Amino acid sequence: MDDAKSFAVLCRECGVAGFVGAPKPPADCVVCQSRNIRSHPELFDLTIAHIDCDAFYASIEKRDHPDLLNKPVIVGGGDRGVVAAACYIARQYGVRSAMPAWQALKRCPDAVVIKPRMAHYTKVSRQIRDHMLSLTPLVQSLSIDEAFLDLSGTQKYHKCSPAEALMRLQKHIYADIGITVSIGLGPNKSLAKMASDRDKPNGFFVIGAAEAETWLAPQPVSVLFGIGKATIKKLHSAGYHSCADLVAANERHLAAVLGSQTRQIMALAKGIDQRPVTPERAAKSVSNETTFSRDLSAFTDLEAALERLCSKLAKRLKASQLTGATVTLKLKRSDHRIVTRSHSLETPTDKAHILFDVGRRLLVPETKKQLSYRLLGIGVSHLDHLTTQTLFEYNGGVDDKRNRLEAAMDQLQSKLGDRIIQSGRQFSRQQSDNADDDPA
Amino acid sequence: MKLTIDRMSLLRPLGHVQSVVERRNTIPILANVVLRAEDGQLSLTATDMDMDIATEVGCAVATSGTATMSAHMLYDIARKLPDGAEVELTVADGHASISAGRSSFRLPTLPVEDFPAISSSDLPVNFTLTAADLRDLIDATRFAISTEETRYYLNGIYFHKAEDGNLCAVATDGHRLALTRQALPSGASQMPSVILPRKAVGELRKLLDDYDGEVSVGLSETRAEFGFGTVRLTSKLIDGTFPDYTRVIPAGNDRIMQVDAASFSAAVDRVSTISSEKSRSVKMGLKPGTLTLSASNTDASSATEELEVTYDGPEMDIGFNARYLLDIAGQVNNDIVEFALADQGSPSLVRAPGDDASLFVLMPMRV
C-alpha cells in the first residue's frame, strides 16, 4: 500500500476522467477496460494546447472521395509541382510535403495526385476554427491547419479540465467535419507544439512542466518552437545540437551566436516559454482576385472581370458587416510583376457599384500601357464596422437608386443564383463567350 | 523687350498669376508666365491648362516685346529684392536679365508661341456682382466641397439659377451640404448651371481678398470668366451633372433646437477631444431645455457637457461628426444656431433662425 500513488487518468474511449490510486501508471481504463488511455501527473492542470490537423488537404480529399480511402493520395502538383500534402499511406512510401511531385511519384508510383482546392480547404479550416472557438476565445492560428489554444480559466465554464474538453473537441471535429486532428497539451506553446507532433494521427500527447527539461535534453534544437532555419544552422556550426547543449552552454558564448535571442532560447531549451497565445487581430483587408486562363490586355475584358470581382467583394463585406475606406487594385503582368494602385475614399463603402467605379478609374491608366495581365484583384483595407450614410444614399439621391438596385440584385442572386440577374456587361460577355465555344 | 518697373508694382501682379502655376510640371512651359510689354503696360498671364489668370500693370517700356520665363522663379526674385528697388527686365537671345541695384539674375526663356493659347470662346451670359456678394457665395459653401476624385462632379461649387429665381451656390461632399442664395443679378436670367472647380474657387477667393467693387462674370456651358480691376481669371468648368440636391434638403423637420453658436462650438470642441480619431463622432442628447453633448472612445474614455438650449420636442439622441458641426457652427453668421431635426437617421437642417438665404444639411452618424 505504501507504493500506491495517485495517477490522473483520462480514457479516450469512454471519456471517463479521474484519479486512480495504484503503485504504477494504470494500463487500461477502470470503466471500459480500453487501453487507449492517457495518464500524466499534470494531465488536469495543463492549459495550453496545440492542435494540428492530420495530413489536412489529403484528409479532406479522402473524406470527399471515399473511394480514395485506402489509396496513397498526394495533394499538389499544380503550377509549382510540389507536394502540398501527402496522406499517411503515401508517407509510408517516403513521400513528404514540399517534395517535388516527380520525386514523390518515383517513390510512390500508385499515388493519386489531386490538384489543391484551396478555397475548399479554407472553408473546412474555418469550420474547425469555429469548433476551437467554442472552447476558448484565445485561438491563435499558425496556418490553415494548426492552432494554439489557451484554455486557462475555462474549467468552470466547461465543467471539466482542459484535457477533457480537448478530447471532446477532437471527437466533435471528427464527427462533424470528418477530419482527425492531433492534440498536444503542455504548460506552454513550445511544449504543446512538440507534444502534438509526438502522437500522430488522431493523437493526444502530454508534456508536463516537471519533466520538460529532461524530456527536451536529448532533442535536437530544431524541435523548439519559434527557432528558424537560419538560427538552427548557426547553432549547429557553433557546436550546439541538442537542447541539453543549450542548457549547459555558457550564456556569454551562446550570446555570440544568438544575440538578443539568447535568454529566450536558453529558456525554451529548459521547457520555459512565456509567449502568450495571442488570437490574431481582425482582418486588415478583404480582397478578391482571379487569374485568367489567358492573359488579358483590353480594357473592356479587364473591366468585366473587375465588375465580377467587385460584386463578390461587396457580398463578402456585406456578409461580415464591414466597410473599407481604401480600395486597392492589383494587377499581375505577364512577366509576373505585380502592380498595385490604391485610392482612399472619403466615405468607407461596402457597395459593389462604388468599388467598381473606383477600381475602374484605377484600371484605366494601367490598360493604356499596352501590357497584358495574367491576374486582376480588388481589395479594400482600413476596415471598419461604421456605416456612414451619405446624403446621396438618402431619399432618391444618386446613390440611393444604385444602392437599391444592388440590394435587389443581391437578394435575387442569393435566392436564385448569380446568373438570374446580371449587368449588361456580364450578359453580353457571356453571350460572346458562348459564341466562342460554338464550333460552328 | 526691355522695361523698367518698381519692385512692388511687379510683385503684386506676379503674386496673382504665379499661384495658378503648378509646382511640378511635366510640360516645361506651363511653369512659365507670359510677359507682354507694350504701350506703357506689362501684361502677365499664367495657366495650369484648366484655369488662367491674366493681369496687367503700368511700367516704363523701352522696347516692347513678349517672353515667357519661370513664374515661381521670377516671383521669388521680385519677393526677395529690397523694398523700393527699381527692376530692369531685358529679354534677348533666349534669356531674360533681371537687375535691380547690385543684383542681377539671368533666366532662360521659352518662346511665347509654345505657350498654350488662352481660350477665348464666346461667353454668352454676362452679368456683374459685387465682390462682397461673390465672397459670401464662396465663403458660405466652399468648406463643403468634396475632395473625393471619384465624384468629380462634387469637386466644386455649383452655381445656378434656382427654381425660385435666385442665384444659388451649393457644395456638398455627401456628408454635409451648404447652400446659399442671393437675388439673381440682372443679365443672369439665362445663366447655365455651372460647377466651378475647387482650385478656381480658391484662386478666385484669394484675388477677391484685396478687391472691393464690381466683378464682371462671363459664363458659357464650359467656361467661366471673372474680371475685376486689372485681373481676369478664366476657368474651365467641371463637365458633369451636379446631383439633384433639393431631394436631400429636409422639409418637414419639426424638432427645433436653438443654441448659442459660440458656446455650442466651444463645447463640441471640448467634448470631441475624446471621440475616436477615426469617427470623430459626438452625440447630441436632447431633452426639453437641455442639450447634452457626449463622446466616447473605444479605450473607455468619455466626455459630456450640458448646454442650455431652446428645445421643447421629445427626447432624442443623434450623432454627428464633430468636425462638421464645428465647420457649420462657424459658417452660420449669427449668435444663435438653429437645428431642425427629424430622427437620428435622417438629415438635419442647420441655419440661423429666420435666415432663409443660407442653410446647411448635415447627415447624422450612427453612434
Matching residue, cell 502655376: B21
CA nearest neighbour of B125 among B185, B211, B55: B185
Count Cβ atoms below 10 Å from residue A4 Cβ, excluding itself: 11
pLDDT tens digits, B307-359: 999 999 999 999 999 999 998 888 888 899 999 999 988 999 999 998 888 99
Residue B102 forms part of a structural domain: yes
Query: pTM of the predicted model, to two decimals?
Result: 0.67
List CB contacts (< 8 A) between A387 and chain B. 366
Choose the closest CB to B174 out of A347, A357, A396.
Answer: A347
B164-177 burial string, b = 16+ CB within 10 Å, else e?
eeebbbbbbbbbbb
CATH for A285-439 is 3.30.1490.100
B26 lies within 8 A of chain A by CB: no
The set of long-range contacts for A401-410, using a CB threshold of 8 Å and a minimum separation of 24, is A402/A351, A402/A353, A403/A351, A403/A353, A405/A353, A406/A314, A406/A351, A406/A352, A406/A353, A410/A315, A410/A318
pLDDT score, position A84: 85
Helix pair angle (A352-367, A398-416), 10° resolution: 100
Tell me where in chain A the CATH 1.10.150.20 domain(s) lie: 212-269
**B131 and B232 co-located in one domain:** yes
**B223 and B311 co-located in one domain:** no
* Pairing verdict, β A204-206 and A181-186: parallel
Q: Which are the contacts of A152, defined by CB distance < 8 A and separation ≥ 6? A: A47, A48, A162
Residue B367 forms part of a structural domain: no
ipTM entry: 0.73
Choose the closest CB to A397 out of B149, B247, B279.
Answer: B247
**B183 and B161 co-located in one domain:** yes
List CB contacts (< 8 A) between A392 and chain B. 174, 243, 248
**B243 and B257 co-located in one domain:** no
**B156 and B255 co-located in one domain:** no
**B154 and B208 co-located in one domain:** yes
The set of long-range contacts for A210-216, using a CB threshold of 8 Å and a minimum separation of 24, is A210/A41, A210/A42, A212/A186, A212/A187, A212/A270, A212/A271, A212/A272, A213/A247, A213/A270, A213/A271, A215/A271, A216/A243, A216/A244, A216/A269, A216/A270, A216/A271
The set of long-range contacts for A14-20, using a CB threshold of 8 Å and a minimum separation of 24, is A15/A164, A15/A167, A15/A168, A17/A44, A17/A160, A17/A161, A17/A163, A17/A164
A298 lies within 8 A of chain B by CB: no
The topology under which CATH files domain A40-210 is Alpha-Beta Plaits (3.30.70)
Min distance B275 CA to chain A CA atoms (Å): 14
Whole-number Å distance between alpha carbons of B304 and B318: 14
CA nearest neighbour of A307 among A401, A390, A424, A403: A424
List CB contacts (< 8 A) between A398 and chain B. 243-244
CA nearest neighbour of B270 among B309, B326, B344: B326
Question: Is the sign of the CA dihedral A61, A67, A73, A75 positive or negative?
Answer: negative
Contact between A346 and B147 using a beta-carbon 8 Å cutoff: yes
pLDDT score, position A1: 45
pLDDT score, position A281: 67
What CATH architecture applies to the domain A212-269? Answer: Orthogonal Bundle (1.10)
Contact between B174 and A392 using a beta-carbon 8 Å cutoff: yes
A390 lies within 8 A of chain B by CB: yes
* Amino acid sitting at position A381: S
Question: Is the sign of the CA dihedral A363, A364, A365, A371 positive or negative?
Answer: positive
Query: Which residue from A minimizes the CA distance to B365?
Result: A388
- Domain final residue pick, B84, B114, B144: B114
Contact between A389 and B146 using a beta-carbon 8 Å cutoff: no
Whole-number Å distance between alpha carbons of B243 and B158: 10
Q: Which are the contacts of A150, defined by CB distance < 8 A and separation ≥ 6? A: A47, A48, A49, A136, A138, A276, A277
Query: Which DSSP category does B310 fall into?
Result: B
Q: Is A146 a catalytic residue?
A: yes
What is the layout of strands, in order, in the sheet containing A146-150? A139-143, A146-150, A48-53, A181-186, A204-206
User: In this structure, what C-alpha cell is assigned to residue A274?
Assistant: 512565456
Query: Which residue from B minimizes the CA distance to A398?
Result: B243
Residue B310 forms part of a structural domain: yes
A325 lies within 8 A of chain B by CB: no
Whole-number Å distance between alpha carbons of B166 and A17: 85
Tell me where in chain A the CATH 3.30.1490.100 domain(s) lie: 285-439
Contact between B363 and A390 using a beta-carbon 8 Å cutoff: yes
Helices (H), A65-115: 88-92, 101-107
**B253 and B276 co-located in one domain:** yes
Residue B325, classified by CB atoms within 10 Å of its CB into exposed (0-12), middle (13-18) or buried (19+), is buried
Min distance A429 CA to chain B CA atoms (Å): 26
- Interfacial B residues in 194-253 facing A (CB < 8 Å): 243-245, 247-248
- Map residue A7 onto helix, strand or coil: strand
pLDDT score, position A439: 38
- Domain final residue pick, B114, B141, B173: B114
Query: Which residue from A minimizes the CA distance to B347?
Result: A391
List CB contacts (< 8 A) between A345 and chain B. 148, 150
Instruction: Kindly indicate the confidence band of residue A438, based on its pLDDT and cuts at 50, 70 and 90.
Output: very low
pLDDT tens digits, B204-225: 999 999 889 999 999 999 999 9
Residue B120 forms part of a structural domain: no
Contact between A395 and B247 using a beta-carbon 8 Å cutoff: yes
* Pairing verdict, β B336-341 and B255-260: antiparallel
A78 φ, ψ (degrees, to nearest 5): 60, -150
Q: Which of A13, A42, A61, A146 is an active site residue?
A: A146
Instruction: Kindly indicate the confidence band of residue A66, based on its pLDDT and cuts at 50, 70 and 90.
Output: very high
Please say if the pLDDT value at position A222 is more than 70: yes
What is the layout of strands, in order, in the sheet containing A82-86? A82-86, A73-77, A112-114
Mean pLDDT of A415-426: 85
Instruction: Kindly indicate the confidence band of residue A80, based on its pLDDT and cuts at 50, 70 and 90.
Output: low
Domain count, chain B: 3
**B146 and B64 co-located in one domain:** no
pLDDT tens digits, A2-32: 456 788 899 988 888 888 888 888 888 888 8
Quote the domain boundaries for residue B48: 2-114
CATH number at residue B145: 3.10.150.10
pLDDT tens digits, A272-311: 998 899 887 667 889 998 888 888 999 999 999 999 999 9
- Interfacial A residues in 11-70 facing B (CB < 8 Å): none
Choose the closest CB to A346 out of B173, B177, B279.
Answer: B173
